[in-house]
Structure 1
Amino acid sequence: MAFFIFGPLFNMLLWTVAEKWYFPYSLPLEYGFSSWTKVFAPRGGAVESLTNSLVVALLTVVVSLILAIPAGYALARLKLPLRGLILLAFLIPQAFPNLTVYVNVARIFYEIGLNGTIPGVVLVHVSHGLVYAVWIATAAFSAIDPELEQAARNIGAGAMRTFLDVTLPLAAPGLMASAIFVFLESLDEFTGSYFVGAPDVNMLPLLLYTAGAGGNYQIASITALLLLVPSLVFMAVVERFLKADVLSRVGH
């Protein structure tokens, strides 16, 4: 398992500094950083793609949390009819092949002027990010003891004051974890970015695909590394914030 996990990562790291490497040699013949210079050159597109990817991912997180916090609180605290079906509805974007969905989304967005725009790409990413945001937010609010809210109400706090001063701070670790999951999902999203954003909105996954399809493994590996580093950092943060009591309530 270690070989299958770390072997490709080691191979990718070698390609990022390989100047000359071909069969039958098992290691690069020459090492250097000329490919890094090409990637970050003004015409390389990496800086623009990285900026667009980060902007889209951050906007996706903001929009997802704006929708997920009230939805998660309602699903956790209110006795809603068909609550299970509402939670399952957020899985619908994941239940169908992405290709067929995004082709039709791109056609609709083209008619209303959202195709090839940052807002259009953000909306597509939100449709997938809501799965993580709503489910984890619901679990985070469910993990809070309702008696804490009742105690705050008993000493005179209003509903909004109780939510802002008691409920929201206690749910913050779970909400932080959901935000990180949404961020990572958006950062790595390719299909939606391709059909809705390309060629006007350049993203890192698109640059990675173009380089890999063209056989430029140095550029593809450097781009993959740029995508990998935030994922590793944020997954470490998730491990800190997403506790067992929250995980145990996902889907409940």
Structure 2
Amino acid sequence: MRRVLGWIAPALILGVLVFLIFGPLANLLLWAVAEKWFYPHLLPSEWGFAFWRRVFSARSVAWEALGNSVLVAICTVLASLALAIPAGYALARLALPARGVILLVFLIPQAFPNLTVYVNIARLFYQWGLNGTLFGVVLVHTVHGLVFAVWIASAAFADISREMEQAARSIGAGPWRTFIDISLPQALPGLMAAAIFVFLESLDEFTGSYFVGAPDVQMMPLMLYSAGAGGNYQIASITALVLLVPSLVFMLVVERFLKADVLARIGK
């Protein structure tokens, strides 16, 4: 009896955790293929893919929103890495007097509620003519993505063996050649992980896209919000699944490339 009771409690806890994690996903999948589902039915009364055809029809904005979301995410990754690679290398390799303060500066956009930050950014962008443009959305996403990019890049470069760099310099390689041939290849797994984090953060970013891009720039998170607010749960579920797929794929890649020792160096 004690053994049975000892197994019941862990089993109940595990069951609750599984329900909390996979319950919403199961509900999402059901709504994505439900054509009619009304209370008090526990399952849809009619199944089908009519809403999938409606979402991805030629007259729908889904293709434009998906294209804009992917394009903005790619541009955000390129802009973030262009700034994060030199910044991360300098923070990891140079004896900067206020290194901790510099790292904290990149956390400032995360230290305040996103709504208050983006409202003021939208006001400035309106004055500069950047509201309703893809370039403006990329700028906002880049500010948000630099937090991941700089912190992970600095940890990746800090994990590089200094002996290999010194050996390259001792046989005549200059600073640039040493960086390209020695430092950058060793830091590449961490930089790939940073790029994936920034891509996923940009792909799912709603608040900045709404205040800077809407209504001129169609984005998948905006489409998801509009469908959910309008009670179109099938369309909202389909849009959420489209956003969920790259997140799951890329998180598996991150788990493979981002090592525990690199994570341990973040912020040091």
Bin for the TM-score computed over the shorter chain: over 0.9
Matched residue of 2:35: which SS? strand
1:134 to 133, 138, 150: 150
Matches within 5 A, 1:33-48: 33-48=49-64
1:221 to 237, 255, 258: 237
Matched residue of 1:19: which SS? strand
| Matching of residue 20 in structure 1 with residue 36 in structure 2 | yes
Specify the alignment match of 2:262 in structure 1: 246
Specify the alignment match of 1:91 in structure 2: 107
Specify the alignment match of 1:62 in structure 2: 78
Matched residue of 1:201: which SS? coil
Matched residue of 1:71: which SS? helix
Counterpart amino acid of 1:4?
L
Structure 2 CA distance for aligned equivalents of residues 120 and 178 of structure 1: 22
Identity of aligned residues (%): 73
The structural deviation recorded for 1:244 is: 1.2
Structure 1 CA distance for aligned equivalents of residues 117 and 153 of structure 2: 26
Structure 1 CA distance for aligned equivalents of residues 128 and 263 of structure 2: 40
Structure 1 CA distance for aligned equivalents of residues 59 and 98 of structure 2: 53
Q: Deviation digits for residues 81-101 of structure 1, max 9, x if unmatched?
A: 111000000000000111111
Counterpart amino acid of 2:208?
G
Q: Deviation digits for residues 19-45 of structure 1, max 9, x if unmatched?
A: 110111111111000000110112321
Structure 2 CA distance for aligned equivalents of residues 234 and 138 of structure 1: 21
Structure 2 CA distance for aligned equivalents of residues 244 and 104 of structure 1: 38
Unaligned segments of structure 2, at least 5 residues: 1-16
Specify the alignment match of 2:180 in structure 1: 164
Specify the alignment match of 1:112 in structure 2: 128
Structure 2 CA distance for aligned equivalents of residues 43 and 12 of structure 1: 24
Alpha carbon RMSD of aligned pairs, Å? 0.5
Q: Deviation digits for residues 4-29 of structure 1, max 9, x if unmatched?
A: 11000000001011011011111111
The structural deviation recorded for 1:194 is: 0.1
Aligned residues: 252
The structural deviation recorded for 1:248 is: 1.1
**4+ runs deviating over 4 angstroms:** none
- Whose radius of gyration is greater, 1 or 2? 2
Structure 1 CA distance for aligned equivalents of residues 153 and 127 of structure 2: 34
Q: Deviation digits for residues 142-181 of structure 1, max 9, x if unmatched?
A: 0011111000000111110000000000000000000000
Matched residue of 1:44: which SS? coil
Specify the alignment match of 2:22 in structure 1: 6
Counterpart amino acid of 2:262?
V
Matched residue of 2:116: which SS? helix
TM-score for the superposition, normalised by structure 2: 0.93
Q: Deviation digits for residues 99-142 of structure 1, max 9, x if unmatched?
A: 11111111110111110000100000001100000000000000
Structure 2 CA distance for aligned equivalents of residues 29 and 238 of structure 1: 40
Matched residue of 2:168: which SS? helix
Structure 1 CA distance for aligned equivalents of residues 33 and 119 of structure 2: 37
Specify the alignment match of 2:9 in structure 1: none
The structural deviation recorded for 1:220 is: 0.1
Specify the alignment match of 1:146 in structure 2: 162
